[in-house]
Amino acid sequence: MSWIIKSLVAIGIASTGAAAKADTLNEGSHNQAKSAFIREYDNALAPLQFVKFCMNYDTECAADTAERSLPSGERAMSMLREVNSSVNASITPTQKSTHPMVARWTVAPAAGDCNDYAVTKRHQLIEMGWPKSSLRLAVVLTNGGQGHLVLVARLADGDFVLDNLSASVRPWNAAEYEWISMQSGGNPRFWVAIGEHGERLRATRLAMLRTAE
């Protein structure tokens, strides 16, 4: 998924100064650690393969036409754990091409990569009655700098991550990823910048606007 990261991360991460950047990162890390929810910032480019996914699976990207409600309490977590476990077991991990003209996100393949796990989990939870606004695909960077796709489930008490690299459903800030972008809760076809990446992007844009004044 390196092409996704290049298209997302290349937009406005230039530093406005080493000291200012360090202060922003430290403050951002502190704020993120305290928050049960991923902080959202400005609009971001949707990954190209997500756009292709929506063309192939139109209903997956359409807004809910009927009102849906989240399962309550422990029932919601139980469903998330069940889906995370069953999908992780049902898809054989395989390395797929990341070339934009060849790569494709697929629901419920026999073998697939992180993208296929994430969209399959989202699909199953939607089929189980979950609102689409609470099930949001997210692009992250792993500790090794590798692009990775996960599913974020937004519950009343926080955001939780369903991940093919983990057997457990974790709070978002326990996953130790660098958060890049995520589907918008208002429209499943739109994406927003998130986390420290979104914070830096907004700061850069504001600095550019001040310079232009």
Average pLDDT, the chain: 85
Task: Please check whether residue 49 lies inside any domain of the structure.
Answer: yes
CATH value at residue 182: 3.10.620
Q: What is the DSSP string of 54-101?
A: HHH-HHHHSPPSS---PPPHHHHHHHHHHHHHHHHHHSEE------TT
Q: Is residue 206 part of a domain?
A: yes
For residue 63, pLDDT over 60 is answered with yes
Q: Is residue 23 part of a domain?
A: no
Residue 64 lies in a domain: yes
Give the count of domains, the chain.
1
What pLDDT, in 10s, does the model give residues 70-104?
998 899 999 999 999 999 999 999 998 877 778 89
Residue 42, domain member (yes or no): yes
User: Is 21 part of a structural domain of the chain?
Assistant: no
Mean pLDDT, residues 106-124? 98
Residue 103 belongs to what domain range?
A: 2-10+31-212
Residue 201 lies in a domain: yes
